[in-house]
Structure 1
Amino acid sequence: MTTSRPPESPLGRGPESRRPRSPLGRVSGHFIGAYGLLLLTALLFLTFSLARPDTFPTLDNVSSILSNQSISAILALGATIPIATGRFDLSIGYGLGLAHVMVLHLIVSDDWPWPAACLVVIIGAGTIGVLNGLLVEFARIDSFIATLGTGTVMYGVTGWITAGARIVPGPEGLPDAFTDLYDSKFLNLPAPAFYVLALAIVLWLLLERLPLGRYLYVIGSNPRAADLVGIPTRRYGVYAFLGSGLVVGFAGVLLAAQQQLGNPSVGMDYLLPAFVGALLGSTTIKPGRANAAGTLVAVAVLAIGLAGIGQLGAEFWVTPLFDGGTLLLAVGLAGYAARRRLRAGATTARQEPPQETAAPPTGKGPPQSP
């Protein structure tokens, strides 16, 4: 005696076999996806603290980590802004090198007051960001190619200014107020850590609480839909690169205060960690989209990991191996988180009953029948 089976769906399973996930499973899955990297940060800190109890969980070590990783964190936050729109700014490393060299050149060689030199450099970096945005949005050059091209030009300008040599201050040194931008402390913690925190708060407000941030996210997820609802995608794309450029300029000022000499090749050392932080950050807190809080968590994972393996006596080649492997992992996880977010949105849309909607207020909707 044979029994008949219901016909299978094209996916190989009948609708009755698709059991919905329990509420507990959905909550736990969301928690792990959103806060798993934060838990990994705590686990790494605990692991290295147990391995090196005398040196790792100390205030001096924490201060050193916060100070050493502050510029990478600032650059990662700057890279987060174009990534929110689906673009990439590969010029940030070259821009960092040019900005810190220009600050020292204006102070040391041209005797500019340091506040004026810092302001001009930040404005100049923002201008370069606008140029990147124009090339990407209006000239329609791919963001990888456009920003790599402008970055290479900036690297050439850096070499022209320095003639391939370092800019070394005279016997009198740099103004104390300028070097204190990096060397000073607040609440017994390095001041650069508070710069990172302040920038992260500003970026969080911009992306999560202001219409500008929502527009950037819409452009990044669906540019065609953004056009249909009347968002000027090109203009906001330029705004994203402008924000990235301003952040790079500020990071260059801070790097000059830290290094206290102009090294024409130092900027590229920060490019990879910045992108690792920004891309890995898009897999946590709000998985599937770039966000400031996630970037901070990702930078913390990298900082603790590098500090820990350094104290364990790792060889010099472990750092680039760690950065490169983490970048590959970050790109893979970011793509997976974005696809998962799209699938979740599509599932929700299918489950919701169709509703009558009014025509968009922009006048770009379909014509209404009389």
Structure 2
Amino acid sequence: MSPSSTRPTRTGHRRGHGHFIGTYGLLALTVLLFLLFSVLLPDTFPTLDNVSSILSGQSIPAILALGVTVPIASGKFDLSIGYALGLAHVMVLFLIVEEGWPWPLACLVVVIGGSLVGAVNGVIVEFARIDAFIATLGTGSMMYAVTGWITDGGRIVPGPDGLPAAFTDLYDGRFLGLPVPAFYVLGLAIVLWVVLERLPFGRYLYVIGSNPRAAEIVGIPTRRYCVYAFACSGTVVGFAGVLLAAQQQIGNPSVGLDYLLPAFVGALLGSTAIKPGRANAIGTLVAVTVLAVGLAGIGQLGAQFWATPLFNGGTLLIAVGLAGYSARRRLRTDAGATADAGVGGTGMGTGTGTGTGTGTT
């Protein structure tokens, strides 16, 4: 083996630096943004009250972003989540206020209903062979119609006694001095990290998302696992609807649509971090954090109301572009590593043959 083959190449250095930036760049940006706004707003931004407000206010978008991460890992998009969120939160309040159900039973039924709706989305996409964008947009529109039918186009308002305190504490409660919803987000991120990174279910979804044909060839039941992915997303959306009901305490049939864009921004931007090139739970959590810090900072600097949708829309375009770039870069890196291994093997064979010939002579 020649000495040059043992030295790290300049390409290897660039690859290592690029990998580090791609993996941890978004996390570093979060820290830099927090420090920047802390310097610009020293009296309000770096305070426990502000941190609690950010954690509480962004918990539902974070949960939704984690939910859509699962079907995205399989290469599918669930555009019905905004409509499903609105239906879920209205349904919780309808069962508690109008039907007089105990709140734990109402919450359980809505979460299970979310799972079933997600499974129906998966069946339509996989077995009816309808594109996920069109299928989930169609089912989402139908959910919006059901929401309007339940509310009769108005709002569900609790009576004079209000909602049960134990129910509203699902969102308003605190634990260790921090809002309880922050711990829901952390717990969900850990669960999805285990499922996607450490269990066969997650590995199958990644294979399906990268090459469905190859997944079928190796024996992975692609249709079944895609239905599972949509059902998982629906379960998370149902849970987010329960939290939204506990937060809003009024059934608003159109409120869910406001969460569609932030959820996809977080999930797609998250696919450029931690595991660049593929959707992953920890990357989504980091992306939601940087979005939350950025929105809180520009809000406290006095930005107009239109700054939030502008920020979300622009970030979505950047996220989609970066996600595509990360995926292409990952493929090039894998191909380069394979080529380097082949060159290295050829060099070793040549060196051995030369040495043997010289010794014999």
Does the TM-score normalized on the shorter chain lie above 0.5?
Answer: yes
Look up the equivalent residue of 1:109 and give its one-letter code.
E
In 1, Cα distance between equivalents of 2:33 and 2:310 = 18
In 2, Cα distance between equivalents of 1:155 and 1:176 = 29
User: Match for residue 243 of structure 1?
Assistant: 232
**Is 21-30 or 46-55 further displaced after alignment?**
21-30
Among 242, 245, 264, the alignment partner of 1:275 is 264
User: Match for residue 135 of structure 1?
Assistant: 124
**Post-superposition offset of 1:202:** 0.2
In 2, Cα distance between equivalents of 1:192 and 1:161 = 27
Gaps of 5+ in 2: 1-7, 346-361
Q: Does 1:177 align with 2:200?
A: no
- Residue by residue, what CA displacement relative to the aligned partner does 1:89-144 show, whole Å, maximum 9, x if unpaired? 00000000000000000000000000100000011111010000001111110000
- Name the SS for the 1:279 alignment partner: helix
In 1, Cα distance between equivalents of 2:11 and 2:143 = 54
**Post-superposition offset of 1:31:** 0.7
Q: How does 1:102-181 map to 2 (within 5 A)?
A: 102-181=91-170
**Post-superposition offset of 1:22:** 4.8
Structure 1 residues 249, 160: CA separation in 2 closer, same or farther (over 3 Å shift)? same
User: Match for residue 348 of structure 2?
Assistant: none
**Post-superposition offset of 1:347:** 2.4
- Residue by residue, what CA displacement relative to the aligned partner does 1:198-235 show, whole Å, maximum 9, x if unpaired? 00000000000001000000000011110111000000
In 2, Cα distance between equivalents of 1:36 and 1:148 = 33
Q: How does 1:70-85 map to 2 (within 5 A)?
A: 70-85=59-74
Among 289, 303, 306, the alignment partner of 1:317 is 306
Look up the equivalent residue of 1:326 and give its one-letter code.
T
User: Match for residue 347 of structure 1?
Assistant: 336
In 1, Cα distance between equivalents of 2:208 and 2:341 = 24
**Is 343-352 or 309-318 further displaced after alignment?**
343-352
Look up the equivalent residue of 2:320 and give its one-letter code.
V
In 1, Cα distance between equivalents of 2:290 and 2:93 = 32
In 2, Cα distance between equivalents of 1:24 and 1:223 = 33
Look up the equivalent residue of 1:25 and give its one-letter code.
R
Q: How many residues align?
A: 337
Aligned Cα root-mean-square deviation (Å): 1.4
Q: How does 1:42-57 map to 2 (within 5 A)?
A: 42-57=31-46
- Tell me which protein shows more helix as a share of its residues: 2
**Post-superposition offset of 1:29:** 1.5
**Post-superposition offset of 1:26:** 2.7
Among 7, 30, 51, the alignment partner of 1:62 is 51
- Name the SS for the 2:52 alignment partner: helix
